[in-house]
């Protein structure tokens, strides 16, 4: 019941790792329902990468007006993977009512770093058995961003935001509390895979 973050540097294959995982799941269980949410600029890229590396997966990239997307979502049982954008998800969230996905993947998951935005709330409203967040920058400016991603992955794992802020964020920000930061690292580490280009691509 745990979920995770792929936090590799850009270009080290987060997309390919997820495609391999989904293909493996498809091979083990013939039925597969996946929702991938990503920036609009890479929706078609996700579809192209799947067609290239896992042609056995049936993929629909949601497109067109609201009526067309409603039809595509309604026919999700006929495909393995739906790919949509964060903006589309916000508009279409009522159409997912009653749907349960085997996997939900957020690409560029720092998009939901502010838990109060409609995009973050929409992403967290989807019912999924396994959740993955892909982001090379799980923390850009403040610890609350990591809290919001974990609130998508495993709500309650990092407590309520008020408690997290009191126990970890404020001591780390105001007092440079290394013990608080170390505790956040210990809690996050089992669920985060992070590789750096300096570790993987030594020629760089």
* Helix-, strand-, coil-residue percentages of the chain, each rounded to 5: 55, 15, 30
pLDDT, position 155: 94
Higher pLDDT, 196 or 34: 34
Report CA 164 to chain centroid distance, whole Å: 21
Q: How far apart are CA 126 and CA 95, in angstroms?
A: 10
Please answer whether residues 6 and 18 qualify as being in contact, where contact means their C-beta atoms are separated by less than 8 angstroms. Answer: yes
Token pair 């091979």 is found at 27
Q: What is the DSSP-derived secondary structure letter of residue 11?
A: T
pLDDT, position 204: 58
Q: Which residues pair with 133 in a beta bridge?
A: 5, 106
- Mean pLDDT calculated for residue range 57-61: 97
Q: How far apart are CA 134 and CA 6, in angstroms?
A: 5
Q: What is the mean pLDDT of the chain?
A: 92
- Name the residue among 133, 141, 137, 194 with its Cα closest to residue 172: 141
pLDDT, position 11: 80
């Amino acid at each position: 019941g745990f979920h995770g973050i792929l936090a590799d540097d850009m270009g080290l294959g987060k997309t390919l790792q997820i495609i391999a995982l989904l293909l493996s799941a498809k091979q083990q269980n013939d039925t597969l329902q996946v929702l991938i949410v990503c920036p609009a600029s890479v929706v078609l890229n996700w579809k192209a990468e799947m067609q290239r590396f896992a042609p056995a997966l049936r993929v629909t990239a949601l497109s067109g007006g609201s009526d067309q997307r409603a039809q595509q979502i309604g026919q999700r049982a006929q495909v393995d993977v739906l790919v949509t954008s964060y903006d589309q998800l916000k508009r279409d969230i009522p159409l997912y009512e009653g749907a349960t996905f085997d996997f939900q993947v957020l690409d560029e998951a720092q998009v939901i770093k502010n838990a109060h935005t409609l995009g973050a709330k929409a992403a967290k409203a989807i019912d999924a058995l396994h959740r993955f967040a892909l982001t090379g920058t799980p923390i850009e400016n403040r610890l609350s961003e990591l809290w919001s991603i974990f609130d998508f992955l495993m709500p309650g794992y990092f407590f309520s935001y008020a408690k997290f802020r009191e126990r970890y964020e404020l001591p780390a920000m105001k007092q440079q509390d290394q013990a608080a930061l170390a505790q956040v690292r210990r809690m996050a580490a089992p669920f985060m895979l992070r590789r750096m280009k300096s570790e993987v691509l030594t020629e760089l």
